[in-house]
A = this chain, B = another copy of it.
């Protein structure tokens, strides 16, 4: 079970998630596996870039099964936490779209994470999603402004399988814009950025920013 809405940019700081199991696993291993899986699920998700004061993922076991396979347990935990993290973003305040930012080819995994999160938190990218505008320029400039190693001669940008920018070549005529706008109209799609530098990769999950987010958060009173 997980609950989110706004103030979502978990660094495990009002996001609440409770997971129960009957696997016979030690506390130390539970914490290790939970930390590992949280990094690529809840900590890769953002609604508004604001970390809350009590983000929580709690994993509890009654150890009743009497058995435990670490790899299988890790995979099962990843599957459920990935599903819950994405459902939380989809349910974000004012969100109408769920977008995966698939960053690859970065100098290392940490730089890929920085680029992916810069994209999921950029107001210009989030408002372009809301406007269903395949604005690859805002994506390219956010990648560049992230401070990570990148170059226009090695960068590739795609909307789902549609490559709009390929290492300096811009494939963005009226026909391509029409096709890209169809992708942007979906409730769920992927924006991929291959930086073409090395092998670092990370997937972050974000949503659009529209009038409903402003309405909810400007009208709310403490």
Q: Spell out A's residues near B (CB within 8 Å).
A: 6-7, 11, 13, 48-53, 121-124, 127-128, 130-131, 133, 135, 137-138, 141-142, 144-145, 209-211, 213-215, 217-222
Contact = CB atoms under 8 A, between A and B. Distances in A.
A131 B209 contact: no
Contacts of A51: 141, 145
10 contacts: A6-B124, A50-B138, A50-B141, A52-B141, A53-B141, A127-B218, A128-B217, A131-B219, A131-B220, A211-B211
A144 B11 CA distance: 12
Contacts of A144: 13, 53
A138 B52 CA distance: 9
A218 B210 contact: yes
